[in-house]
Structure 1
Amino acid sequence: MKKVLVLLVLALVLAACAPRVWYKPGATSAMRDRDLQSCRYQAEMVFGQRTPPLSEFRVYVDVPYGTPLELARRVQDAAEEAVRREYEDYRSEFVNGFVHDCMTRKGYVLVEEE
């Protein structure tokens, strides 16, 4: 029973890792690539219009009075890095979602690559 469960879990994990590609009946790979590039370009443009650039986000860290300067700088740097990571994660999610919707509107579906 335990072996069956392990094999089932392994099969599910491997299936989830299978590469997926956009497919549309009658579309060539060149057409798909062009549509995908167009959707990505549109996604980046819309993101840029709707979201301020990272340089406009300011991070202020209020450290207790008397904190050594080097520690205060490290805390400030860590806060700025955390904001940068969150911004990039948000950007990635926005672009991926936009591209997915764009390709779907064009008649594509995501399928496992064979």
Structure 2
Amino acid sequence: MHTTTELAVKLSTDREGSTRSPRGTGRERRRRPTGALAGWLSVAPALLIILGFTSYPMVQSMLLSTDRWNMLGPRQFVGAENYATILAGVASAALVVLFVILLLITVIQLRLNSREES
């Protein structure tokens, strides 16, 4: 007597060794993606959604930052003029100093936390 798996193998493989449908229709079975390809195919929809919700707004913000626009009239391209205006301001030096101080505090906190964990 043959087991069920042996019969399935006999039915699905003909004399040439090609894989065919067990019903004898002569159509070859489609191979399922395996390994890394299957993993990427299963993760692809989530990656596209995440990229859509993060990259698109980021790119639009960068493009909008180079325009002069009051949200009522047409947009006018000004290039890096907006950035020059911000950096030329009186308060910009104080903001840079504040940013550096906050950056140093964050780095020090991260270093202290990493020492406590190890």
| Shared fold, TM over 0.5 | no
Q: TM-score, normalised by structure 1?
A: 0.29
Higher helix share: 1
Q: TM-score, normalised by structure 2?
A: 0.28
